[in-house]
Structures are given as C-alpha cells and as structure tokens.
Amino acid sequence: MCGICGIVSLQNDSTVSKSFSSSHLTPMLERLSHRGPQGRGINISGRAALGAQRLAIRGLSDGAQPLTDADSGVVVLCNGEIDNHNDLRAWLAQRGRIVRHASDISVLPALYLELGEEFVNKLRGVFAVVIWDPRNQKLILARDRAGERSLFFIREGNSITFATELSALAAGLPHKANIDERAIASYLSRGYFTAPSAPFCGVKKVRPGEIIIFSPGRTRQIQYWQWPAAKTFKTPPSFDGFDYIFREAFRIQSEIDVDYGFFLSGGIDSSLIAAVAKKIRPERKPLCYTLRFSEPSYDEGNFAKRVAGLIGSDIISVEVKPEMFPEELKRLVSITGEPLADPAWIPTALLSRRAAQDVRLVFSGEGADELFGGYPTYPGAILAVYYNRLPVFLRRVVREIVETLPPSERKVPLSFLLKKFVKGGEMSPFKRHLFWTANIPSDLLMKLGIKPAAEKVLPEGSIIDLAQLYDFETSLAEGLLSKADRGGMSASLEIRCPFLDYSVIDFAASLPLRWRVNGIKTKVFLKKYALRYLPSDIVYRRKRGLSVPLAKWLRGPLQSWARKKLKSGRLEEAGVCTEAALSLMDEHISRKADYARPLWSLLVLDEWLIWNAEQKDIPEAAAQNRIL
C-alpha cells in the first residue's frame, strides 16, 4: 500500500523543473505521509515528476518506489497489492524477463514491457497503477476491478497532475480549484462521489476497471473490466468449488510479510473470513478488533467476542462515543480532502487507529452483500411486485397506516424500512431502488435548493441483477470501499476484502437468482456455505451492518454542534439553502421525521467547505517553476 502522486507534461519541448520536488511534489507527498510511513521516493526526469509514500506489506526491504526499468526508462507507481506476483514472476521468467526484487509490485515494469496496455488484465489484487513511458511520451492510469483503490487526476493543457487523495492533488495544483456544484449535488444524493466525478471542476477519478492512456494529442479511456453479473450464464452452484475459490482468495491475500488481524462484527461476512482463515493458517492467532456502542441495538461486541472465541483469537474493543465525532470528522476531512457521508467512516477510522498499534493489515467483509444478495432492498424489489398488484385503495390504506408510525432511534427499525418501502413501492423498479438507497431523496434535495443530478442509466435485465450491479459499481466502489480505504489509511492500516478477489466475484456472477435472493431470504448460497464453518445462529442472525446511533445523537449530544454548523451559512457556497437545512434539523429534533442521514451529509459537506477555504494558491514563483 502506498500514497502516490505526480505531474507529467505531454508538451514536446518541456521538462520538469529541478526545483520541482521541494516546491511542488514534496507538499503533495507530505499530505500522503499517513498512507506510507515506511519510506518516501521521488523520481524526477524529463517530463515527469513522480513520488510515493510506502506502507510496506510485502518485500519489506526492497519495495521502494517509484520503480524504474533501467533500459527503457519506464517508471511505475502502484498503490496496492499484486496478489499473483509469484505466478507473474514465473510467467515473465519464461519469457526472458527476470524480476530480481522480492516485492509484489516489482513485477509491474516487466509485465508492462511484455504486454503493453494489456498488462492490467493479468493483475490479481487491489491497485491504482501509474506508468510513465518516456519512449513514446505515454502516461497510463489504471484502477482495479472493484475499485478498492482510488486515483484522482486533472488535466490542464498538456499538464496532468494525479494523486491518491484529493488533499494531495490540491497541494499540487498551481491554483485553488473551483467547486463543482453538479458533483456536490450527486454527493448529497448518494453520500459519495461516483467516478469520474469529484468535488472540484476539472478533477476526475479513474473508474473501477478502467485504464486511461494519455499521449500527445490523444487520450483513450478503456473499460477493461465490468462485473458480468447480468451477462454470465447461471449454473447450479458447487459448495466444494466455492470453498476452493474462497480459501485460495484468502490464502494469496494473506501471503504477506507482516502480521495481520480481522475487523469483526459477529455478522456472517467478517466471521466467515476469520473462520476460513483459521482453517487455512491454524498456526496463526491473529488479533480481532470490534466496535462497541452504549446503545444496545447498535452494539454487536458480544457476537464478535463469541466468534473470536470460536477461532481461538483475542479480541480488542473500541468504544464509540458521540463526543469523538466532531474532532474526528475534522481530522479525516483534513487528511483526505474529501467528504464521505457514511457515518461509519469515523468508527472505521477509530478502529483502524487501534489496530494499527499491532498490525499493518486487517481483513474485512466488504463486498459480500453486493455479490451474494445481502441487502433488504433485494427481497424488497420482489415484494414490491406483489404490493403493486393490490387494489389502489388498499395500497392507500397501507401507506396511511405506515406513515403514522413514529421515528425510532433503534438500528434499522422496521418503521424506517416500511416507510421507505411504501413511498417507493409504486415507482418503476430501478427508480425505486435508487430511492431506497438514496442518501438524500430527490424531493428533499429540491427543498434544500439542490437540483438532483442525473442518475446512471443501466442496461435492461432482471431488477435484482441490475440492483446488484449498480450497488457493486457505485455504493460499494465509491462509498463503502472509499470509507474503508480512507478510514484505514488515515492510521496507516491496509484493509483487504477477500470477497473482492476476482475469482470470488466471477463465481457470484454465475449464481442463479434463487441462490442469491429467495422470497425474503437473502444471501441464500453464502449462508448455506457458511454453515461449514460457523454455528447456525451466527449465520442466520438478522443483518445489521455497521451503523451509528446518529438519529439519537443529533437530538442529544451532537445537537448544539450540528446546529451551529448549519447556521454558519457556509453551505450556501455549495448551493444549499441555510433556512431549509435548519428546517430539517428542527423536524428531526421534534421527531416529525428521521433526517439523520441527510443532516449528516450536510454536516460533512460543511466540514469539507471549511477545509477547502483554507487551501491556498501556490506562490506565483513556485507555480512558474513547475514546468520549464
């Protein structure tokens, strides 16, 4: 894992200034120092200035970046892990390309020289890769299939600046970037920025499964991979076949040179990973880490403790308190330069900070719900078909009864789910899914003065297939995985997700619908498989997910802090009406509605606007020295 950054000029008669590292690249690297405390590397030559901060996981003594091929001059940066590096090393050796260094990413220069732009199809793992090829003045940016590692960039004329995080990118620009209000509208709707959008005008994010090739006079964007769930032929699943696939996914991800641990909730996904890991590496006794809340419906610590006992591991708990949120939010936004509206970002960062005292890498269960059909919206889509067959008057009666249910401060209460269901029940199938998963619904956005952004258009197909595809490509890639990456790396901790190994992804794509969602049953196949490793009461425990008692806290200990931020008027800079935002707060406090998620999205945006206001233009002399 690393933080990477740089600037490249595609102008024929230009070179990067020799004073570049101190005036320009160094500030970018300093903003990435949390991502790589084990070392810093800089390569400045010709038209390119590239840098990296390293978190050493594999090849501890010889994995310094940037990587340079002496003969061709090709320079490579990689933020991530190449899990199949041993197989690639052997494959390259058969073709006469000997890779002499031990780190996983050391195979990348030779792989690119052998295959050119097709190199990315051979990679198994998580990665954001940058390649500068001075022979033909070509810059390549690539992101892994699931989007576990991000890469931002901006092209201004013939100059391209890139970085792992927005804060570093902002430090590398000669001027302060303008806010993109359309992208902000999308953020408020979804709670994250969906690639290629970013909060600044002109700044883009590489899409999951995408490779972008810049060369003089030409730019090519290639979608080299997309989850084939809607196109894959469905076959009856093999439990033994999946067992081999899943065990192999964990095995290659855990072939590392540092100790690892587990984020454990006591739910099926993280528990299954820990149980499988125990079978594969019985000699290891990795630590487990879990979150605790004083609110009983949110606390899963006892379940996590039980699973840790089943695998013979010790468990360390981190208690989450409301008073931690204001300062931790400020810290995370300042580090990353990015607003993420998932309230679980803060607990993830707190847990990562504790885990980083013991290990450099933990395993987590992200991806299982999207791949295997775990969200309540999936059976909800099936139930909506029957709901819409009811007579109009009966649906109206149901809706009126449901709307009288009072808001609850419990975790994922039935009243919340029912209100979402009936309000979206009569919409078209995909529009309904977007409504159910929205952070701030369109009608509420318009009350705030925000014009809703156009939603992604998906190909036709089964609503469950399309919903899973949408969730995989958007809420997982840009929301949950961004939360995990930014939260973990804020403490120099890498988070890996065995469910997102591409062999597991391909297997999940082949599952018939009844093995994913059957009536109101979710994750049908995965739960049956998990019985090989876990007790049935763990496997079939009600899904809860990582969430925060935000509704209660915004009516209590966080109320004064939240109201002060909303009253500041800063949100007007992003087009949000202050009066409307305060009205949401009033309705939430009086329990007329549960607006915890919309309010939190606004509070995170406000914190980001404070950070953005503090950014400065690079002094004119330094800006002029970027390119000679």
Q: What is the pLDDT of residues 45-58, one digit of tens each?
A: 888 999 999 999 99
- Say if strands 152-156 and 138-143 run parallel, antiparallel, or are unpaired: unpaired
| Residue of 348, 290, 325 whose CA lies nearest to 556 | 325
pLDDT tens for each residue of 142-169: 999 999 999 999 999 889 999 999 999 9
Task: For the chain, give the percent of residues with pLDDT over 70.
Answer: 93
Residue in the structure block whose two tokens are 């149901």: 398
Residue 621 banded pLDDT, cuts 50, 70, 90? very low
pLDDT of residue 217: 84
Task: Note the pLDDT of residue 511.
Answer: 94
pLDDT higher than 50, residue 628:
no
Please give the average per-residue pLDDT across 354-369, as a whole number. 97
What is the domain class of 239-373+465-539 according to CATH?
A: alpha beta
For the domain covering 2-225, report its CATH number: 3.60.20.10
Over residues 11-27, the pLDDT tens digits come to: 765 666 555 555 789 99
Q: Is the pLDDT of residue 456 over 60?
A: yes
Beta strands in 66-202 (DSSP E): 67-68, 75-82, 125-133, 138-143, 152-156, 159-163
Measured distance CA(230)–CA(464) in Å, rounded = 9
CATH 3.60.20.10 positions along the chain are 2-225
- Could you tell me the end-to-end alpha-carbon distance of the chain, in angstroms, rounded to an integer? 32
Q: Is the pLDDT of residue 543 over 90?
A: no
Mean pLDDT of the chain, nearest integer: 90
Decide: 266 and 304 in contact? Cβ < 8 Å: yes
Q: Say what the pLDDT of residue 63 is.
A: 78
Total-model pTM: 0.93
Q: What is the mean pLDDT of residues 218-234?
A: 85
pLDDT level of residue 198 (50, 70, 90 thresholds): very high
Q: Which of 61-65, 223-227, 326-330, 410-414 has the lowest mean pLDDT?
A: 410-414
Which residues of the chain does CATH 3.40.50.620 include? 239-373+465-539
Q: What is the mean pLDDT of residues 449-464?
A: 78
Taking the CA of residue 122 as centre, how many other CA atoms within 13 Å lie in the half-sphere pointing to its CB?
Answer: 21
**Segment 582-586 mean pLDDT:** 96
Exposure class string for 143-163: b at 16+ Cβ within 10 A, else e: bbbbbbbbbbbbbeebbbbbb
CA 288 to chain centroid, in Å, comes to 22
